[in-house]
Structure 1
Amino acid sequence: EQAQAEGADVQPVYSPLQALAAAREFPGRQAVFLGIGFETTLPGIGLLIKQAQEADLGNLSVLLSAKRVPPVLEALLAGGQARIDGFVTPGHVTAIIGTKAYDALCENYHVPMVVGGFEPLDLLGAIHLLSKEMVAGGQGNRNAYSRVVSHAGNRKAQALLEAVFEVKDDALRGLGVIPRAGYAIREAYGRYDAERRFEIATRSCEPDGCICGEILCGVKAPADCPLFGTVCTPGSPVGSCMVSNEGACNAAFLFD
């Protein structure tokens, strides 16, 4: 929104393939799709890149910022910053990667995990199963979202991720660089990588005074941040926890 106000041509889309249509409509302009998210959104982005290559489009690229959930969970468990008794694992991510992705974490760290959906009853069911595991001292990897999630996951989507992307070490706020926590576009599709095409230099985006990293890790609460509710509000967010309407700071500001 800020970039649009300054005159940039920024278009929100509901599907990555709308970027493909934009590139075809305006062949004399470069279209850059901002591809962000975890495993949930990556199959759509991978499909965009594959179709762009099949169509031999020369004016489309993807600026990718993609993370992998299991290595992040392992970093939280191994880091010891926050006391973690169990996880309600993300439903849409797990629909892609399958509950099998957490088997080793449950076994190695003796922590139960339950995948949950997004309706109130889904969440209550996941919390109920997780509580039973914790009371019993278990380390089970349970599924409270079986109408969407399976143990194996979406094999077709997994094959697409494997074809288009490669795993890389990546940095996450509050956790630093985590081995194998991110994705990069494979060399075979390198012409559609905006970082390569435009030689974009990445930098830290942690604003001064912001403690989003510690809030994301569960080490501190939104109220512990000196910016919270003063210079950082939903109308004028400073950090990612306030930018997103799913963020802890956004929720705390609106509902606490």
Structure 2
Amino acid sequence: MKVLIVEDDAAIAANLYDYLESDGYDVDIASNGNTALRMALDEVWDAILLDLSLPGIDGLTLCRKLRTEAHRDTPVLMLTARDTLEDKLQGFTEGTDDYLVKPFSLKEVGARLSALVKRYRGQVATMELSFADLRLDLSTMTVQRAGRPVRLPPKCLHLLRVIMQAPNRVFSRSELEMEVWGEALPDSDTLRAHIYMLRKALSEPGKVDLIETVHGLGYRLSASDSHAT
């Protein structure tokens, strides 16, 4: 998962970066509001950790711009030393999804971040992921395409679960490798081989190839019939 840390305190930012990276997140840092807004709009993020007091654009203004001007619904976890009810209500009014007061536990940051992303991806209330005529039952980890059962090896199943959580989102090669293989990163051809096996297993005569190769960027789940191969 890709997480943007927006924090002007270098020590706090470094601690968050190290903790989240060790937990398998793809992390980047912005130390001021102007840079953060540009990064938030230029890339797709699974979540943003946002400090309230920032140089340039403050956290509340940044969050409001994301929601009302850019119409981005990226989950935002606000990090701040302000702990009054009024401060929290103002944060929620501007569009933050959760609020954590400094000093905080890194484990709590990780837990809240994971919960935010799961809710955003629709994994809390549902036990099924679906896209077009593709279904993945999360309780049994079984797959169907157009009603036909699809048998997948474990790594391909994990790979499918990751890309089905965010249809149309481009996942980079490194992100997919980290999600599926963790720190034990495979050699350069392993991901490509698993994508090939997944495509072959999901193929249906006359049906669109649901896995699109976005050259130079990665892969995504898409129902377009103009895929690059």
Give the alignment's TM-score, normalised by structure 1. 0.26
Greater strand percent: which structure?
2
More relative contact order, 1 or 2 (CA 8 Å, 6+ apart): 1
Q: TM-score, normalised by structure 2?
A: 0.29
